[in-house]
Amino acid sequence: MTRNSQQLTFNRGVAKRLTGDKHGSLADFRKTIEVDPTPINAEAWYDRGTAKSFTGYNNGALADYTNAIDLNPAYGQAYAHRGKIKETTGDEQGAALDYKYAEKFHGTLQ
């Protein structure tokens, strides 16, 4: 997959997520990450985490949000969404810390 087709696959994943195709978006984000899991793809990790969260796969979403944060430590949205999952699974301390970083980096829950 070329960088151009990788970007097209990523964009298609975003479009699928926005139109409610949760499983289709998950597949496209997975393809994007498989080709290049480097920092440029922090957004792909984040979007795949969001797709996993929408399908109820919170453990996978948590891992993907963590990967996005590892690649981009200032990714406020990833902190916010990871915090929400931690909160719903009872990790109040972890959620509070993630919300603190989300606020620092201007991340919000959408």
Whether 73 is in a domain gets the answer yes
Domain total of the chain = 1
Mention every residue, 6+ apart, whose C-beta is less than 8 A from residue 34: none
CATH number at residue 61: 1.25.40.10
Asked whether residue 56 is assigned to any structural domain, the reply reads yes
Predicted TM-score (pTM) of the model is 0.80
The amino acid sitting at 47 is D
pLDDT digits (tens, 9 = 90+) for 47-103: 999 999 989 999 999 999 999 999 999 999 999 999 999 999 999 999 999 999 999
109 part of a folded domain: no
Which residues span the domain enclosing 91? 3-104
Contact between 30 and 67 (Cβ < 8 Å): no
Model pLDDT for residues 6-37, shown as the tens digit of each residue: 788 888 988 998 899 989 998 998 888 887 76
Residue 44 lies in a domain: yes
DSSP codes of every residue in the chain: --HHHHHHHHHHHHHHHHTT-HHHHHHHHHHHHHH--SGGGHHHHHHHHHHHHHTT-HHHHHHHHHHHHHH-TT-HHHHHHHHHHHHHTT-HHHHHHHHHHHHHTT----
Domain-embedded: residue 99: yes
